[in-house]
Amino acid sequence: MASPQGALRQSLEFRLSAWVSALLLGVAMVAGVFSFVTAFEEANELQDDTLRQIGALIDRNHLPVGNAFTTLSDLASDPESRVVVQMLPNASGEAARSSAMPLLLSADLPDGLQTVMVEDHSWRLFVTTLAADTRFVVGQQTAVRDEIARDGALRSLMPFVILIPILLLVLRDLIRRMLKPLNRLASDLDGRSEQDLGTLSTTGLPTEIRPFVAAINRLFSRVEQSVSQQRRFVADASHELRSPLTALSLQAERLADTKMSSVAGDRVAALRQGIRRARQLLDQLLTLTRVQEPAVMAASPVSVEQVFRQVLEDLHPQAAAKLIDIGVISEHDASIILAEIDLMTLVRNLVDNAIKYTPAGGRIDLSVHAQEEGVVVQVSDSGPGIAPSERALVFEPFHRVLGNDEAGSGLGLSIVKAITDRCAASVALDYTDVAQSCGLRVTVTFRGSGRNAYTTTQR
């Protein structure tokens, strides 16, 4: 797998979001700059017009300006924003140095609009000629004008500033929604067990994805065919092998009944032991292929305790031969809705394993508990246990824990796993004695749908 960062870079959702967001931000930026500049210039022109109109008013109405000056500062709350109307000193310069003049201006300013530096301030002035030697100037500080223009221009940016983040969020959500069927499909595929090769549903999927899903479904059906062919082959082969083995076993039995030396007798006994083991292996193989098929047996409530009893009756001789103290430690019975033969096979394999791997004089405990999440069946032994690193491997067919010379078929836990897979149960391995790291405890949880799936009865 790629690193999380790489996976993110590969994600269609991420790429789409990133590109659309970048594009959107770029367009918004350009539009914002354009709108700012336009609004700024527009506001400046408007103020120029105002100055021009004030000048025109003075001109037309013959206001008694004389050599006096007027400031409109009384009307303005901010003295900075005042509009100054004053006479220009005439060319001879007689009225030029009046202390009442707010602005020191030279007489040779041309008519019209201009920007002039006066006493460290930049002013925007409109100069007009009233009579031959009477010239007026209407002025305003450019700093104030620019501030007004900037405010206006910034206000024109407000929609962008507010709407773009909202648009980005909506887009992200929209893309996520669009890609939801894909994510659902992925998690559906991810959550499947290896046995589940059923077809994927195409409902609710976009048409672009459907051919892909159809291809996966076709692949599934081909895989299922080949898997079932393989299973059928194993089942047929084991079945076919049983007949010659039975014949062999009968021959060996007849051989054992004849007179022979004790050495030959020992050899025949070993031979018969070998044949018995081969038959057990074939039986286990058949059981494994049977439980790997989808369930066909009718499920009905099965008393776990009855199953315990039957398994213990069958396996008690082996346990007694090794002086193993075997027993049931739970107080109550519980029922599981299942084909009885499956539960029987499962418990038998667990107890059989426990007896095999528990040293003589050991102890094996069986228990069943009805809990909120389902019925829990446990088989604990006092054997060597299985190290955590081995636990995932022992469910593989023919996997052996190293350093173990017990004669098992190597299929017991595979059969258990196949049964639990088939009936939506889970199986977990642990140490019986966690502190000492010894003993195997197998916990099988049959998830029932609430309390209806099982019943408890007092023993």
The distance of closest approach from Cβ of residue 273 to another protein in the complex, given in angstroms and rounded to an integer, is 14
Please, which residue, 119 or 257, has the CB nearer to another protein?
Answer: 257
Query: In sequence order, what are the residues at sequence separation of 6 or more whose Cβ sits closer than 8 angstroms to the Cβ of residue 443?
Result: 376, 377, 378, 427, 428, 429, 430
The distance of closest approach from Cβ of residue 314 to another protein in the complex, given in angstroms and rounded to an integer, is 8
Please, which residue, 182 or 328, has the CB nearer to another protein?
Answer: 328
Q: CA-to-CA distance for 419 and 271, rounded, in angstroms?
A: 33
- Is 325 a binder of another protein (CB under 8 A)? yes
- Strand 84-87 and strand 135-141: the pairing is antiparallel
The distance of closest approach from Cβ of residue 398 to another protein in the complex, given in angstroms and rounded to an integer, is 27
- Is 317 a binder of another protein (CB under 8 A)? yes
- Is 326 a binder of another protein (CB under 8 A)? yes
- Single out the residue of 57, 214, 329, 428 in contact with another protein (rule: CB under 8 A): 329
The DSSP annotation for 342-405 comes to HHHHHHHHHHHHHHHHSPTT-EEEEEEEEETTEEEEEEEESS----GGGTTTTTSTT---TT--
Binders of another protein in range 345-374 (CB under 8 A): 365
Please, which residue, 60 or 459, has the CB nearer to another protein?
Answer: 459
- Is 246 a binder of another protein (CB under 8 A)? yes
- Is 111 a binder of another protein (CB under 8 A)? no
Say which residue the tokens 């010239």 belong to: 135
Q: CA-to-CA distance for 398 and 412, rounded, in angstroms?
A: 9
Please, which residue, 133 or 325, has the CB nearer to another protein?
Answer: 325
- Single out the residue of 330, 378, 409, 414 in contact with another protein (rule: CB under 8 A): 330
The distance of closest approach from Cβ of residue 305 to another protein in the complex, given in angstroms and rounded to an integer, is 8
Please, which residue, 327 or 388, has the CB nearer to another protein?
Answer: 327
Q: Which two tokens stand for residue 155?
A: 């206000």
- Single out the residue of 52, 172, 242, 316 in contact with another protein (rule: CB under 8 A): 316
The distance of closest approach from Cβ of residue 251 to another protein in the complex, given in angstroms and rounded to an integer, is 12
Q: Among candidates 322, 342, 363, which has minimal Cα distance to 444?
A: 342
From the list 75-83, 131-139, 325-333, 443-451, the region that binds another protein by CB under 8 A is 325-333
Q: CA-to-CA distance for 84 and 153, rounded, in angstroms?
A: 25
Please, which residue, 156 or 318, has the CB nearer to another protein?
Answer: 318
Please, which residue, 44 or 330, has the CB nearer to another protein?
Answer: 330
The distance of closest approach from Cβ of residue 301 to another protein in the complex, given in angstroms and rounded to an integer, is 20
**CB neighbour burial string for 161-177, b if at least 16 within 10 angstroms, e if fewer:** eeebeebbeeeeeebee
Total chain residues near another protein (CB under 8 A): 19
Binders of another protein in range 295-314 (CB under 8 A): 308-309, 312-313
The distance of closest approach from Cβ of residue 383 to another protein in the complex, given in angstroms and rounded to an integer, is 18
Per DSSP, 434 falls in state T
- Single out the residue of 249, 280, 318, 443 in contact with another protein (rule: CB under 8 A): 249
The distance of closest approach from Cβ of residue 276 to another protein in the complex, given in angstroms and rounded to an integer, is 11
- Strand 363-371 and strand 325-328: the pairing is parallel
Q: CA-to-CA distance for 351 and 366, rounded, in angstroms?
A: 8
From the list 10-18, 64-72, 194-202, 247-255, the region that binds another protein by CB under 8 A is 247-255
Instruction: Provide the residue type at 145 as one letter.
Output: R
Query: In sequence order, what are the residues at sequence separation of 6 or more whose Cβ sits closer than 8 angstroms to the Cβ of residue 59?
Result: 128, 130, 136
Specify which residues 429 forms β-bridges with.
442
The distance of closest approach from Cβ of residue 380 to another protein in the complex, given in angstroms and rounded to an integer, is 13
- Is 456 a binder of another protein (CB under 8 A)? no
Q: CA-to-CA distance for 39 and 149, rounded, in angstroms?
A: 7
From the list 48-56, 79-87, 315-323, 433-441, the region that binds another protein by CB under 8 A is 315-323
The distance of closest approach from Cβ of residue 226 to another protein in the complex, given in angstroms and rounded to an integer, is 37
- Is 327 a binder of another protein (CB under 8 A)? yes
The residue ranges of DSSP E strands in 173-323, in sequence order, are: 300-303
- Is 244 a binder of another protein (CB under 8 A)? no
Instruction: Provide the residue type at 105 as one letter.
Output: L
Q: Which two tokens stand for residue 439?
A: 């003993």
- Is 274 a binder of another protein (CB under 8 A)? no
Please, which residue, 250 or 434, has the CB nearer to another protein?
Answer: 250
By CB neighbour count within 10 A (0-12 exposed, 13-18 middle, 19+ buried), where does 63 fall?
middle
Q: CA-to-CA distance for 427 and 83, rounded, in angstroms?
A: 90
SS3 12: helix
Q: Which residues bind another protein (CB under 8 A)?
A: 246, 249-250, 253, 308-309, 312-313, 316-317, 320, 325-330, 365, 459
